[in-house]
Amino acid sequence: MVEYLRAGTILAATTTLVHDVLSPRNAVIGGLHLLTDGHWLWYSDLAHYVERHHVALDPRFVAHARGNHWTAPLVSNADLLAMEVKLFG
Digit-coded pLDDT (tens) for 3-62: 999 999 999 999 999 999 999 999 999 999 999 999 999 999 999 999 999 999 999 999
Query: Computed from CA positions of residues 74, 79, 81, 87, in that sequence, does the dihedral angle turn out positive or negative?
Result: negative
Separation in Å, CA 4 to CA 9, 23, 44, 49, 52: 10, 23, 11, 13, 15
Three-state SS at 40: coil
Digit-coded pLDDT (tens) for 65-84: 999 999 999 999 999 999 99
- Whether 20 and 52 have beta carbons less than 8 Å apart is answered as yes
